[in-house]
Structure 1
Amino acid sequence: MQFPLRCLAAAATLCAAAAASGHVVLSPGGATAGSAHDAVFSVGHACKGARVTTALSVQLPEGFRLIEALPRPGWTLTAPQAGEVRWTAGSPAAALGGGEKGEFVVRGVLPATPGTLYFPVRQVCDVGQADWVQVSGPGDAARPDMPAARLEVLPPGGGDRPQAHRH
């Protein structure tokens, strides 16, 4: 009976992530300190009042060592400069429609020390932009309106959270 309960818990986590899809979020779960990890950023919709997402920039946190950013078909990937990776739609047809979901992947090595990594993200749209950069401090009861994507870095052997898929 343990396995079905774990499946139910995983489904609840995914549902919570889907409910938060208004934000740019990382895939649920944590990753092991010192390991290679695919950080998958999910975009749930365009900016408020916009029809499409035309660009996404991810600021890499200190301690995250970039291996590569994965390209998206129809999008231009800008080489990391000053710890930032940027994808830009190559044409209006390649842009993410208002309710269309998209994933952007950064592959890297996590720091050896467990803790929380925050990835500030700028989502650029046909009208305006959304800066997902707010970080809540310890003990903050209120959730930020524009939260930065976050990843829990776990100690080695610290649980059965899903790990990155490697090719």
Structure 2
Amino acid sequence: MSISIAIKSVAACAAVICASSALAHVTLADQAALAGTYYRATLRVGHGCEGSPVTALRVTIPAGFQGAKPMPKAGWLLAIKSGKLDKPYDDHGTQITEGVTEITWTAASKDSWLQDAYYDEFVLRGALPATAGAMWFKVLQVCEKGSVDWSEVPASGTSSKGLKNPAALLEIIPSEHVGHAH
């Protein structure tokens, strides 16, 4: 696949995905990426919970997302949960069976809460599998009063139409670029 075809494929997928996820409130900034590449997952939080400020955000690392590493965020504490991976993977000849399964950002103080009137971004990085397909990032948004569990995925396909609290969708598109870049 040529680079220009790959770029056009990413753009086409992004346009379709953006249209289908317009109602989702925790979304990925880049909703399509090439298989076999590193990906910077930027989770956008558009509001609190019915007016209540966000105090924590927990993302469940999707099966196949390899070597997840969160970006520290000023005013927020990081917690990383590790465990057995649903999909082990090979890393330079070593079979990786355990890794990061959840990342949680928690506001260090009331001053760091994400007020309902604002939006913010929470970032992590990892490698994508070599095969194309849908990857869903399930996010628990915890607020001063209540929470929203953005974890619904469709029974089939990638349309989140009809889902009240859809997970954030990343469409992994085919690529001949299955490299190793850090």
TM-score between the two structures when normalised by the length of structure 2: 0.72
The offset of 1:14, in angstroms, is: 10
The offset of 1:89, in angstroms, is: 0.2
User: Aligned to 1:97, which of 115, 131, 136?
Assistant: 115
Give per-residue Cα distances to partners, 1:119-166, cap 9 Å, x unaligned.
1100000001100000013367843010001100111059xxxxxxx9
Residue 151 (structure 1) aligned with residue 170 (structure 2): yes
Q: Partner residue of 1:45? A: 47
**More strand by percentage:** 2
Specify every segment of 5 or more residues in structure 2 that has no aligned partner in the other structure, as ranges: 1-7, 84-100
Query: Residues 135 and 147 of structure 1 are in contact (CA less than 8 Å); yes or no, is this contact kept in structure 2?
Result: yes
Inter-CA distance 128–135: structure 2 relative to 1 (3 Å threshold)? same
In structure 1, C-alpha distance between the alignment counterparts of 2:122 and 2:103, rounded to whole Å? 10
In structure 2, C-alpha distance between the alignment counterparts of 1:33 and 1:106, rounded to whole Å? 17
Aligned residue type for 2:44: S
3-state SS of the aligned residue for 1:99? coil
Inter-CA distance 66–146: structure 2 relative to 1 (3 Å threshold)? same
Specify every segment of 5 or more residues in structure 1 that has no aligned partner in the other structure, as ranges: 1-5, 159-165
Residue 131 (structure 1) aligned with residue 149 (structure 2): yes
Q: Partner residue of 2:105? A: 87
In structure 2, C-alpha distance between the alignment counterparts of 1:91 and 1:17, rounded to whole Å? 35
In structure 2, C-alpha distance between the alignment counterparts of 1:155 and 1:123, rounded to whole Å? 31
Query: Residues 49 and 148 of structure 2 are in contact (CA less than 8 Å); yes or no, is this contact kept in structure 1?
Result: yes
Give per-residue Cα distances to partners, 1:8-39, cap 9 Å, x unaligned.
x9xx789859953x511111431111110001
3-state SS of the aligned residue for 1:134? coil
Inter-CA distance 154–19: structure 2 relative to 1 (3 Å threshold)? closer
3-state SS of the aligned residue for 1:93? helix
3-state SS of the aligned residue for 1:34? coil
Inter-CA distance 119–144: structure 2 relative to 1 (3 Å threshold)? same
Q: Partner residue of 2:138? A: 120
3-state SS of the aligned residue for 2:39? strand
Inter-CA distance 16–99: structure 2 relative to 1 (3 Å threshold)? farther
In structure 2, C-alpha distance between the alignment counterparts of 1:14 and 1:138, rounded to whole Å? 15
- Runs of 4+ with deviation above 3 angstroms: 12-20, 139-142
